[in-house]
Amino acid sequence: MSKEITSREQDYSQWYNDIVLKAGLADYSAVRGCMIIKPYGFALWEKMRDTLDKMFKDTGHVNAYFPLFIPKSFLSKEAAHVEGFAKECAVVTHYRLKNDPDGNGIIVDPDAKLEEELIVRPTSETIIWNTYKTWIQSYRDLPLLINQWANVVRWEMRTRLFLRTTEFLWQEGHTAHATRLEAIDETVRMLNVYADFVENYMAVPVIKGVKSESERFAGAEDTYCIEALMQDGKALQAGTSHFLGQNFAKAFDVKFSDKENKLDYVWATSWGVSTRLIGALVMAHSDDDGLILPPKIAPLQVVIVPIFKGDEQLGVITEVAGKIVQELKDLGISVKYDKSDNVRPGWKFAEYEKQGVPVRIAIGARDISNNVVEVARRDTKAKMTVDINGLSFYIQTLLDEIQLHMYNRAKEYRDDHITKVDSWNEFIHVLDEKAGFVSAHWDGTATTEEKIKELTKATIRCIPLDNEPSAGKCILTGNPSMQRVLFARAY
Amino acid sequence: MSKEITSREQDYSQWYNDIVLKAGLADYSAVRGCMIIKPYGFALWEKMRDTLDKMFKDTGHVNAYFPLFIPKSFLSKEAAHVEGFAKECAVVTHYRLKNDPDGNGIIVDPDAKLEEELIVRPTSETIIWNTYKTWIQSYRDLPLLINQWANVVRWEMRTRLFLRTTEFLWQEGHTAHATRLEAIDETVRMLNVYADFVENYMAVPVIKGVKSESERFAGAEDTYCIEALMQDGKALQAGTSHFLGQNFAKAFDVKFSDKENKLDYVWATSWGVSTRLIGALVMAHSDDDGLILPPKIAPLQVVIVPIFKGDEQLGVITEVAGKIVQELKDLGISVKYDKSDNVRPGWKFAEYEKQGVPVRIAIGARDISNNVVEVARRDTKAKMTVDINGLSFYIQTLLDEIQLHMYNRAKEYRDDHITKVDSWNEFIHVLDEKAGFVSAHWDGTATTEEKIKELTKATIRCIPLDNEPSAGKCILTGNPSMQRVLFARAY
């Protein structure tokens, strides 16, 4: 078969696009910057969404749904917020089309102009806090722990499938609290939920940290984040959790009376992850043959392919396969038996490898007489001959092992790519030659941060939560610094 | 407590709004015609969505996601389609805001005007068939059975919570087939799935039928529908399934080569239900005390309320309640034990009645010494004293009985409100005095249909699928007719 996927070495960026398109995750659309999530990609998103949704509910959150549109004036109520989002908004100005009286087809009806323009939500803090104003009166109404699964639109100039699209799917949590401390606790709790999900389900190790001021969410007092490392040494922000202080409560005048009947502004958090995580998943694990999916979120965990000549052999194999399918299903393992006869087994092998199915079982007629099958794992491409007796438990253990191995492999790569540097030359050298995270001293000013970004395209990914204080000198200015921060070039 | 809900007799329309608002299903938003689905309402929608999603998957469908925006030119490609939707479109014309140089705050940046306006999807046939063009080449690519859960926008002039909102949530299935017959089969299959769901989960009986030409979906060859009857005698269209013929394939030039390598246009269906179903649910079952939810889709099936004085009694009751909760959960029944002590039991009773929780269990200290509890069912408000031994199985059976009883009660009302009439006077009289469906002869012309609508506000809800042919005379014109159709005033 033809080599469909560009190798990583040849062109990492093209490799990524090839995987996304050829594995059937997504497709380009006719609308600039918007993508189509194809059935296989959407099945993957469903697994991720359902897992996260359960984690949110287990931590006391409920789902709700707020309007797609935000009145223009709402955006402006929080100064930093509008500054952050005004430049990338889709704006609805009219509510009707009509036939052009000059015969040029369908045109926007000038008589149907909105009095106030509506913004397609880039995020929902404003419309939600405008609502919370009517829902919150007393401490008894708090905490309010609401999540929303929704589509949002940010008019990005340069887009890439999953990583940066004009429209994307995400969840946004918006919580309201009686005290500053409780809101900070919630911010950190949800950061930990994200880290748990990305590490233990997606098998991608992350560093938890806090953003520098200039990388903060527009309207937040603090932005917590998890940062992951891709195979090309670039970082990717995989999730953020914001402590919003009383900023939105003040902007929308949301006060509550406490037990002593004293009025105070409500404390807020918001937190989100998006379909961008699928981009992280692809780039953290896959190889030149295609996608590699961690078993815990793979839409299909096991595929069984018969190797046969003629209907008689197929009949015998199908009988055995049927039993294996049933045993695996009984263990809660998703499995497909692919006995289609219009393509050769080798073609099927390549196809399921491309789709990243964690385990492949091949069954030939001779295997059956020996009471064995061939098991291939996608992550290492190792093949094993395995006895049919006890096969399902073998597979169950193997899936766990693959999950763990994928995480460990990614973690080893990530750990090898955190480099401490103490001079500017070293800093440049590591960024250019080795990439990954660079741990370096920074003098804490936005000016220096901006200058470093201009010179190297590296940004401060985060100040790790588990940072040890250590005195040193800023990598660029030589000014005193009390801690190292993590720099990287990033998606 | 104050009477929060207007009675049906007093003002049916206000009663409906009261229930939706006071039971916590939805709230008004700051955006004209858009509503907020509150946590309880969204939990209900999740139950409905998850049930339907499983039914779609069990019939071979997969989910995908297509862009929110539709280029204006796409809408125009199918003539009837644009005619149907152009008048109610939200139109995105710009992609950026900026500070007004004259100091009037934030304005739309005139330099960020889109070359081609984008429509916020009112439905997705056009963007999807434009995509199918690249996905379908051969009969091997067919059938394509895709569903999408999404938000859509139709700029309605008069809106009502759930029933008619500018933005709403729905699912839209879009399938592609090699033959006309296969597409018609799919259209009917999905109509049956909808009927199954609405009758057996929502406990609302429906009539399956076909729309008259003037009530057809814009772009369809035939629109199948399920029609339900509300307690005020008005009909509500609960779901539609469209046979689209080759209309969209022709508009977007989607051809496939068959086994003989002959090219033909692809055959299409689309089908959808929306959050409107929640409106139907409210109006089919609820009473003047609040919502009544069928057990199969109630977010909470059973609530347990302790009746106690002092901590000692509460302790004893809580121990017993704990065991009951566990037993019910083991049977897969959702249950909440509400021992909050800031409100009285009577207040809780009213609150859970308002929310339509199917079964309430009250436990008092004396009950425990008699080894009984009080069980109240929401649908009939009957109360029973029930032995604690075997209580969970009693409740399990009771939930089934409530589900069935709600359906039967709604069906009895509906059946009583299908009235055959053979004269215009009778027709008017039944519509005004009894309401419900009126089964009458119609001469089959759009002119007559329109005239009847003008005179009576009644529309042809459907031509029932199980119609017996019967010769007669049109109720309005006296012209010959071969079958009766169902008229009603409708939501």
Instruction: Write out pLDDT tens, residues A46-87.
Output: 999 999 999 999 999 999 999 999 999 999 898 888 888 999
Residues of A in contact with B140 (CB under 8 A): 342
List all residues 6 or more positions away from A139 whose beta carbon is below 8 Å from its beta carbon.
A178, A256, A257, A258, A259
To test the contact with chain B by mutation, choose from A45, A77, A87, A92 the residue with the greatest count of B C-beta atoms within 10 A, namely A92
- Using the predicted structure, report yes or no on whether residue B2 has a pLDDT greater than 80: no
**B91 and A CB contact within 8 Å:** yes
CA distance B225 to B461: 9
CB contact under 8 A, B72 and A43: no
Give, in words, the CATH class of B12-285.
alpha beta
Contact A437, A235 (CB under 8 A): yes
Q: What are phi and psi of B398, to 5 degrees?
A: -60, -40
Q: Closest Cα of chain B to A46: distance in Å?
A: 9
Cβ-proximal residues to A125 (8 Å cutoff; 6+ apart), any chain: A78, A81, A174, A219, A244, A248, A268, A270
Q: Give how far B155 is from chain A: nearest CA, Å.
A: 6
For the stretch B224-265, pLDDT in tens is 999 999 999 999 999 999 999 999 999 999 999 999 999 999
A146-170: pLDDT as tens digits: 999 999 999 988 999 999 999 999 9
CB-based contact (8 Å) between B108 and chain A?
Answer: yes
**Interface with A, mutate which of B61, B97, B155 (most A CBs under 10 A):** B97
pLDDT greater at residue B102 or residue A394 = A394
Share of chain B above pLDDT 70, in %: 99
* pLDDT per residue as tens digits for the range B54-112: 999 999 999 999 999 999 999 989 888 888 899 999 999 999 999 888 887 899 999 99
Question: Which of B30, B38, B97 lies closest to A86 in CB terms?
Answer: B97
The distance of Cα B300 from the centroid of its chain, to the nearest Å, equals 19
Classified as helix, coil or strand, B406 is helix
Pick B93's closest partner by Cβ from A66, A108, A167.
A108
B238 to chain A, any CB pair closer than 8 A? The answer is: no
Chain B nearest C-alpha distance from A168 (Å):
9
CA B328 – CA B330 distance, rounded (Å): 5
Asked whether the predicted pLDDT for residue A369 surpasses 70, the reply is yes
Suggest the residue from B29, B31, B169, B175 to mutate for an interface test with chain A (most A CBs closer than 10 A).
B31
Q: Which residue of chain A comes nearest to B126, CA vs CA?
A: A30
Share of chain A above pLDDT 90, in %: 94
Residue owning tokens 């790790």: A464
Residues of A within 8 A of B74 (CB-CB) are: 30
Residue B18 has pLDDT above 80, yes or no: yes
What is the DSSP code string of A40-105?
A: HHHHHHHHHHHHHHHHHHHTT-EE-B--SEEEHHHHTTSHHHHHHHGGG--EEEES-EEE-TTS-S
The CATH number that domain B300-400 falls under is 3.40.50.800
Q: Tell which B residues from 34 to 73 touch A, by Cβ distance under 8 Å.
A: 34-39, 41-43, 45-46, 62-73
Judged by CB atoms closer than 8 Å, whether chains meet at A67 and B96 is answered as no
The tens digit of pLDDT for each residue in A263-312 reads 999 999 999 999 999 999 999 999 999 999 999 999 999 999 999 999 99
Of the candidates A36, A88, A90, the beta carbon closest to that of B64 is on A36
Q: Closest partner residue to B86 among A72, A97, A131, by Cβ?
A: A97
Measured distance CA(B222)–CA(B183) in Å, rounded = 11
Tokens read off for B180: 């006309």
Rg (CA), chain B: 26
Predicted confidence band of residue B469 (pLDDT cuts 50, 70, 90): confident
- Identify which of A268, A196, A270, A269 has the alpha carbon closest to the alpha carbon of residue A238: A196
Q: Where are the domains of chain B?
A: 12-285, 300-400, 419-488
Do the Cβ atoms of B43 and A62 come within 8 Å? yes
pLDDT at A435 over 70: yes
pLDDT band at A137 (very low <50, low <70, confident <90, very high): very high
Query: In this predicted structure, what is the pLDDT of residue A2?
Result: 44
Of A36, A94, A342, the CB nearest to B66: A36
Which CATH architecture group holds B419-488?
Answer: 2-Layer Sandwich (3.30)
Mean pLDDT of chain B: 96
- Fold classified for A418-488: Translation Initiation Factor IF3 (3.30.110)
B253: left (phi over 0), alpha (psi -120 to 50) or beta: left
Checking if the pLDDT of A3 tops 70, the result is no
The model's pLDDT over A93-135, given as tens digits with 9 standing for 90+, comes to 999 999 888 887 899 999 999 999 999 999 999 999 999 999 9
Give the span between the Cα atoms of B144 and B482, in whole angstroms. 37
Tell me which chain B residue has its CA closest to the CA of residue A94.
B91
Residue B83 token pair: 């005619």
- Whether the pLDDT of residue B361 is over 50: the answer is yes
Q: Rounded to whole angstroms, how far apart are CA atoms A272 and A128?
A: 15
Within 8 A of A155 by CB-CB distance, chain B residues are 95-96
Q: Which CATH class for the A12-70+131-285 domain?
A: alpha beta
Interface test with A, best of B82, B106, B156 (most A CBs within 10 A): B106
DSSP A219: T
Residue B113: closest CA among chain A residues belongs to which residue? A91
Check whether A1 has a pLDDT greater than 60.
Answer: no
How far apart are the C-alpha atoms of B123 and B110, rounded to whole Å? Answer: 29
Of residues B331, B284, B278, the one with CA closest to residue B49? B278
For residue B374, what pLDDT is reported? Answer: 98
Average pLDDT over residues A6-20: 97
Interface A:B, Cβ pairs < 8 A = 193
List the end-to-end C-alpha distance of chain B, in Å, as a whole number. Answer: 32
B361 contact A CB<8A: no
Does B31 lie at the interface with A, CB-CB under 8 angstroms? yes
**Chain B residue with Cα closest to A64:** B39
What mean pLDDT do residues B385-412 have? 98
Among candidates A31, A94, A118 on the partner chain, residue whose Cβ is nearest the Cβ of B69: A31
With contacts defined as CB-CB under 8 Å, which chain B residues touch A80?
none
Half-sphere exposure of A416 (CA within 13 A, CB side): 11
- Which residues 319-358 of B have a C-beta within 8 angstroms of A? 342
State phi, psi for B170 to the nearest 5 degrees: -160, 180
CATH architecture of A295-408: 3-Layer(aba) Sandwich (3.40)
Quick check: B96 and A76 CB within 8 A? Answer: no
Percent of chain A having pLDDT more than 70? 99
Whether the CB-CB separation of B145 and B56 falls below 8 Å is answered with no
Q: Please check the confidence at residue B3 and state whether its pLDDT lies above 70.
A: no
- Flag if A91 and B97 touch (Cβ within 8 Å): yes
CB contact under 8 A, A89 and B95: yes
A210 contact B CB<8A? no
- Reported as a pLDDT band with limits 50, 70 and 90, residue A483 is very high
Nearest CA in chain A to B131: A29
Decide if pLDDT at A5 tops 50.
yes
pLDDT for the residue numbered B82: 86
